[in-house]
Amino acid sequence: MLRRVPLRLSPKAHVMSQQSEECLPESASAEQNGAPGARILHMKGRHYDLQKAIQQRAQESVEREAALDHEQRRPKPLKWAIALLIAAIPIALTLTAAEAFLRVFHKYLDVTVQTANKQAEEQAAAAAAAAAAAEAQAPVTSDEPGVVMLSPLLVPPDQKAQQAAPSQTSQAADPKK
């Protein structure tokens, strides 16, 4: 009687299972032919070796497929690096655009603040000059009895320059004394 060895294969391995041949007893085969026939000898070792070879090939196939699956699942560093670089391009462009916008906005604010400060200084200077001119033209009076207010003598700027020039020339000549 032949002994069957069960094959343990993964679902991926497609191996055809062999059906064991039905052996007729010797007496039955001799009775059917009516003549003494040849005896069929089954090579137990050969059948076992064939099953073993099939099982070994199936196992190798399963291992090869598992290795391929593992190879496909393994992350590829170059592929990941390229994907990250491509993904980083829009991010970098967005950040540089936002930074450029903020830089331009800050420059605009600086220019606006400087012009506002200049206008305020000019207005303050004009107001101070107008106040000084109004004060200089208005007579100084006091409502308090016994208080005398002194005001400087107003000299036009052209006369100041003419008075300063002769005094400087006379001081330059006097050091010989």
Give the domain ranges of the chain.
Answer: 48-133
Q: With bands split at pLDDT 50, 70 and 90, how would you rate the model's confidence at 13? A: very low
C-alpha to C-alpha distances, 125 to 22, 118, 128, 136, nearest whole angstrom: 123, 10, 5, 16
**Structure pTM?**
0.34
pLDDT computed for residue 123 by the predictor:
94
Task: Render pLDDT for 118-159 as a digit per residue (tens, 0 to 9).
Answer: 999 999 999 999 888 887 776 656 677 877 777 677 766 676
Could you tell me the two tokens for 78? Answer: 């170059």
Task: Render pLDDT for 19-68 as a digit per residue (tens, 0 to 9).
Answer: 444 444 555 544 555 556 666 655 555 678 888 899 999 999 999 999 88
Share of the chain above pLDDT 70, in %: 56
pLDDT computed for residue 17 by the predictor:
44
Q: What's the rounded Cα separation, in Å, for the pair 27 and 121?
A: 132
